Amino acid sequence: MAENQNSKDLYMIIKEKYQRKSVAGQLQSVFGKEIYHYFCLESTNKVAYLLAKKGAEEGTVVVADEQTQGEGRGDHYWYSPQGGLWFSLILRPRMISSETSRLSILGATGIAMSIDRLFSSLKVRIRWPNDVVIKDKKVAGVLIKVRTERSDVNFAIMGIGVNLNVREFPSPLSFTATSLIKETGDSTSKKRFLESTLEELENLYFSSQVNGHMLLEKARLFSSLLGRQVEVVTTEGKFQGLVQDLDEDGGLILRLESGLHKKILPEEGYIKERSPKI
């Protein structure tokens, strides 16, 4: 009861506080059928979460030109100035909560496919679990938030940040991040990129419900880590080893120096970035 009351208040605050830029668009048959576009939000994930709680349909998208409190993985701040593509997609997957790890992989794979389709000369890769990178620098990321009822998923929010037309990054991000404008020299239409990404995501989402291996095969194609020696930072500690495979849950299969295999799920760890060469 208290939660409903709070969310109602918050929804009214959002309505009054933020100016909505456009009402609706019809990009795909499901993903992007309804688009809420704002000039500026604290975080598109927060607004999408509220809309989902109020019953918004699967495929609803919230976009902001700028975010003041963009959320990244592991409670990190996500730099979201004008020029980037910052959006959240509401999903209502028929999954149990333990299966939602694969949504991170799905998000990263959809973005990588979209970049590959629009800029075939760029060598885009996925750095497990959900960093989309070009020459080892991060160009996009995915943040999944899930609401469960008992063990079932009520809804999931797929938050996607793409450094599209971001020309400069503050230090220390400047060492680890890049953007499409930096890599190509040209600016990209946000609408065109959103359209293409939603199309890739929609295809992957629905076809992977029929054929679970398909997503994994696509993700493997873009993986920057297969066969590489990496260090993974997890809540249990750091693990070094050779990346042998990705599995259907989105897990990374690591062959440790001891010869043992270790599976690490997306929410359990991240790859330690190499220190910048200065």
Q: Does 216 bind ligand BTN (CB under 6 A)?
A: no
**Is the bond preceding 129 in cis, omega lying within 30 degrees of 0?**
yes
Q: Does 218 bind ligand BTN (CB under 6 A)?
A: no
| CA distance readout (Å), 126 to 44, 108, 116, 155 | 23, 7, 12, 25
**Near ligand BTN in 81-110, by CB under 6 A:** 86-88
Rank residues 80 and 101 by Cβ distance to ligand BTN and give the closer one.
80
Whether the CA torsion 41, 45, 46, 51 is positive or negative: it is positive
Rank residues 53 and 73 by Cβ distance to ligand BTN and give the closer one.
73
Look at the block and give the residue holding tokens 């500690």: 237
Among 14, 34, 38, 45, binds ligand BTN (CB under 6 A): 45
Q: Does 67 bind ligand BTN (CB under 6 A)?
A: yes
DSSP class of 120? T
Task: Choose one: 63-71, 95-103, 179-187, 198-206; the region binding ligand BTN (CB under 6 A).
Answer: 63-71
Q: Does 125 bind ligand BTN (CB under 6 A)?
A: no
Confirm if 201 and 87 have CB atoms less than 8 A apart: no
Among 59, 70, 250, 266, binds ligand BTN (CB under 6 A): 70
Tokens of 185: 């020299």
Tokens of 58: 């699967």
Rank residues 67 and 224 by Cβ distance to ligand BTN and give the closer one.
67
**Near ligand BTN in 137-196, by CB under 6 A:** 141-143, 159-161
Give residues with Cβ within 8 angstroms of 118, minimum separation 6: 188, 192, 193, 196
Nearest-approach distance from CB 211 to ligand BTN, in angstroms: 27
Among 37, 53, 73, 137, binds ligand BTN (CB under 6 A): 73
Rank residues 43 and 224 by Cβ distance to ligand BTN and give the closer one.
43
Among 71, 183, 199, 202, binds ligand BTN (CB under 6 A): 71
Count CA atoms within 13 Å of residue 71 on its CB side.
Answer: 20
Confirm if 157 and 90 have CB atoms less than 8 A apart: yes
Count CA atoms within 13 Å of residue 57 on its CB side.
Answer: 8
Among 31, 38, 44, 193, binds ligand BTN (CB under 6 A): 44
Q: Does 124 bind ligand BTN (CB under 6 A)?
A: no
Rank residues 126 and 214 by Cβ distance to ligand BTN and give the closer one.
126
| CA distance readout (Å), 229 to 50, 247, 273 | 41, 18, 12
Nearest to 125 by CA among 142, 150, 108: 108
Binding site for ligand BTN (CB under 6 A): 43-45, 67, 70-73, 76, 78, 80, 86-88, 131, 141-143, 159-161
